[in-house]
């Protein structure tokens, strides 16, 4: 009889721990494997503006520790995009330069309109110097390949901060 109560307690504790870990707050130090960006294209908050070297956008920031994010920033520069060539599975790919404040390694993932999760095709590669130095933070480069049109959320994160940038592909 005691064994049944002990097993029931272990199962209840395990279930509770699983539920609590799945119901964390907004702040994510890295995306979960079930994250998606199922944002309708009509409401996609893509805010890229033309600058001399490409198109840039500022991301929205979240703290991994629920701390103050007023000094944290995420910026992305889209240097170019190219349509896929015949026989390639990619819809479009582009070169992106990232600047992000915070500490630790830099990671990025593209979350697609149909639940896709795509890692960079190349990078992230740290940049030691740059002509795009108008924003704070360390700098990295990536080549991102997108598999379809629609609203893509590019999620970047470091140890203490994460952020999103929306990109609408037509």
Question: HEC states along 145-159?
Answer: EECCCEEEEEEEECC
84 within a domain of the structure (yes/no): yes
- Determine the pLDDT at residue 38: 54
7 within a domain of the structure (yes/no): no
- Determine the pLDDT at residue 90: 66
Give me the number of domains the chain comprises: 1
Tokens representing 49 are 């503006």
Sheet containing 92-100: which strands, arranged edge to edge?
49-51, 54-58, 74-83, 92-100, 138-146, 122-127
- Determine the pLDDT at residue 20: 25
- Determine the pLDDT at residue 17: 32
How far is it, in rounded angstroms, from Cα 41 to Cα 151? 5
Tokens representing 39 are 């944002």
How far is it, in rounded angstroms, from Cα 36 to Cα 168? 15
Range of the domain at 156: 27-169
Q: What is the pLDDT along the chain (170 residues), one digit of tens a residue?
A: 444 433 344 333 333 232 222 223 333 334 433 334 455 555 688 889 999 889 999 999 988 777 777 889 999 999 988 876 665 556 888 999 999 999 999 999 999 999 999 999 999 999 988 888 889 999 999 999 999 999 999 999 999 999 999 999 88
- Determine the pLDDT at residue 4: 40
How far is it, in rounded angstroms, from Cα 113 to Cα 151? 5
- Determine the pLDDT at residue 27: 33
- Determine the pLDDT at residue 130: 86
- Determine the pLDDT at residue 87: 59
């Amino acid at each position: 009889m005691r064994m049944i109560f002990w097993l029931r307690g272990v199962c209840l504790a395990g279930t509770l721990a699983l539920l609590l870990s799945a119901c964390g707050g907004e702040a994510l130090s890295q995306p979960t494997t079930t994250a998606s960006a199922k944002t309708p294209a009509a409401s996609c908050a893509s805010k890229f503006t033309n600058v001399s070297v490409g198109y840039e956008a500022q991301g929205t920031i979240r703290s991994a520790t629920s701390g103050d994010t007023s000094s944290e920033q995420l910026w992305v520069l889209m240097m170019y995009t190219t349509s896929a060539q015949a026989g390639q599975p990619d819809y479009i790919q582009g070169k992106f330069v990232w600047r992000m404040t915070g500490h630790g390694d830099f990671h990025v993932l593209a979350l697609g309109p149909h639940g896709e999760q795509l890692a960079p095709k190349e990078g992230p590669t740290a940049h030691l110097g740059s002509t795009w130095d108008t924003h704070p933070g360390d700098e990295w480069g990536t080549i991102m390949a997108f598999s379809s049109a629609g609203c893509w959320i590019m999620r970047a994160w470091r140890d203490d901060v994460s952020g999103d940038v929306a990109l609408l592909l037509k």
